[in-house]
Structure 1
């Protein structure tokens, strides 16, 4: 059997998240979304999104990328939320039977306002 290999990035909230004023957190989230959207526009991120609920509240979100794990790790080190210490990055390879998963190219929101309104 043949397999497709993708890179998965888990975004995890560290135990010692720096305290910031709410407006700074909002600006940082917008910068995080803009960074993510830029990676999608470059064709590097195939799918991404936040986690809701679940047993581990530290798990913030994930992304599936079309590049090697080392390259993905470097890209996410430049994510504003990671640089600010609000998120940490875990990177791994994901193997699925060839053709089992397909990704459509769809735009990603560049801000919280865009995510909320769909504009």
Structure 2
């Protein structure tokens, strides 16, 4: 059996990170979403989204199709990681080849798109 190697990226909030104003938070979230959208356009991101668990130590999860070292560099380039908001934990995930089927979904580039106000 043939397997696809994907990279599962878990975003972990940095303990003691500085509080942001609402405007700073929105600007940083927009930059983060734009980064993810660009990765999707480049074909290295197949899924990404927030974790909706109040007790979770993870704030987001994404799945990349590139080698783990490239995924590590791309995750480190995320504006949220560069601003010290979260770090990325990466794991290689092997799934049966062609098991994942992509849909027509397009990741949002901004908070306004998420809220439907763009």
Task: Give the TM-score, by structure 1 length.
Answer: 0.90
Structure 2 distance, partners of 1:19, 1:55, is: 19
> Which structure 2 residues correspond to residues 10-25 of structure 1 after superposition, within 5 A?
10-25=10-25
| Deviation, structure 1 residue 118 | 7.4
What is the Cα-based RMSD across aligned positions, in Å? Answer: 1.6
Q: Which runs of 4+ in 1 moved over 6 A?
A: none
Q: Give yes or no for the alignment of 1:8 onto 2:11.
A: no
Is the Cα–Cα contact under 8 Å of residues 46 and 105 in structure 1 kept in the other structure? no
Q: Give the superposition deviation at 1:103.
A: 2.2
Q: Which residue of 2 aligns with 1:31?
A: 31
**Aligned residue pairs, count:** 118
Q: Structure 1: where are the runs of 5+ without partners?
A: none
Distance 1:113 1:103 in 2: 24
Counterparts of 1:1-119 in structure 2, within 5 Å, are: 1-53=1-53, 55-56=55-56, 58-117=57-116
Q: Which whole-Å CA distance do the structure 2 matches of 1:26 and 1:118 have between them?
A: 14
- Looking at structure 2, the residues matched to 95 and 36 of structure 1 have their Cα atoms a distance apart, in angstroms, of 22
Deviation, structure 1 residue 40: 0.5
TM-score normalized by structure 2?
A: 0.90
Aligned pair in 2 of structure 1 residues 105, 43: CA closer, same or farther (>3 Å)? Answer: farther
Structure 2, unmatched stretches of 5+, are none
